[in-house]
Amino acid sequence: MNWLGKIWQWAILNIFVLAVMIFVVTREPVGWNTLGLIDPVLEAGKWGLRFLLVSLAITPLNRYFGWRSIIPLRKPAGLWAFGFGAVHLFLVLTHDARLGIYWLEFPLQPFIIIGLVALAILSAMAITSNRWAMKWLGKSWKRLHRLVYVASLLIVIHALLAIQMSKKMLLTENVEIELTIYLTILLVLLIARLPLVRSTAMRVIWPKRRYGLP
C-alpha cells in the first residue's frame, strides 16, 4: 500500500479535474445575455488558466517553503491546463456556431490570434512532457518549457481582450475582476522566479542555509 501513499494527491487532483471537466462540457451554451447560468466556453477557459497558475505556483512553494510533496502535481496540473484550453477552443467553435457569432472569420481578431498562439505553446509543451522528448530535445527541452511564462501572459491578455471585445459588458464585470486577480497572481509568481528576488527571499526565509546550519 506504499504506492497509494505516494499517489493520493495525484489521484485526488485528477478525480477533481475530471469532475470539473464533465460538469463544464455537459453545460448547455447560454451566451452572454443569460443571467444566473454557467457559460461552458468561459468556464473552460478560466479553469485552464487556474490550473496553469497552480502549475506555476508549485516550484515557488517548494523553493520558498519546502513543499516537496506537491512537486508531482506540477506536470498533471500543466497538462490539465492544456486540456481545458483545448476544450475551450472546441467549445468556442461549437458554441459560437450555435449563436451565430462568427469570431473565426478573417481577418482574425487580435485576441483570437493571441489565444491560438498560447494554445500552440501549451500543445508543444504537452506533447513533449515525457522522458523520450526530454532526451531527444536535450537542452532545448528546458528552453521550450520556459515558454510557459509567455503562454501564461498571453492567456491572460487573450482573456482580457476577449472581454473587452464583448459589447455586453454587464455580465463581464465580475469576470474582469477575477482576471485581474489572476493577472496579479501570475505577476507574483513570475517575479518570485527572478534571481535577485529569489536569492533575497531565500536569505530571509531560510537564513540558516546561508551559513550552512541545520
Name which of 83, 82, 75, 69 is nearest 56 in CA terms: 75
What's the mean per-residue pLDDT of the chain?
A: 79
Residue 93 and residue 152: Cα distance in Å, rounded? Answer: 22
Total of domains in the chain: 1
Expressed as residue numbers, the domain containing 187 is 2-210
- The pLDDT tens digits for 164-209 are 776 544 455 577 888 889 999 999 999 988 888 887 777 776 654 5
CATH number of residue 104's parent domain: 1.20.120
Length of the chain equals: 214
- The pLDDT tens digits for 129-138 are 888 988 888 8
Name which of 140, 151, 176 is nearest 52 in CA terms: 151
Interacting residues of 175 by C-beta distance below 8 A, sequence separation 6+: 42, 163
- The pLDDT tens digits for 84-132 are 999 998 888 876 554 445 555 667 778 888 999 999 999 999 999 888 9
* pTM as predicted: 0.82
Amino acid in position 138: G
Q: Does residue 35 carry a pLDDT above 60?
A: no
Number of neighbouring beta carbons within 10 Å of residue 200: 11
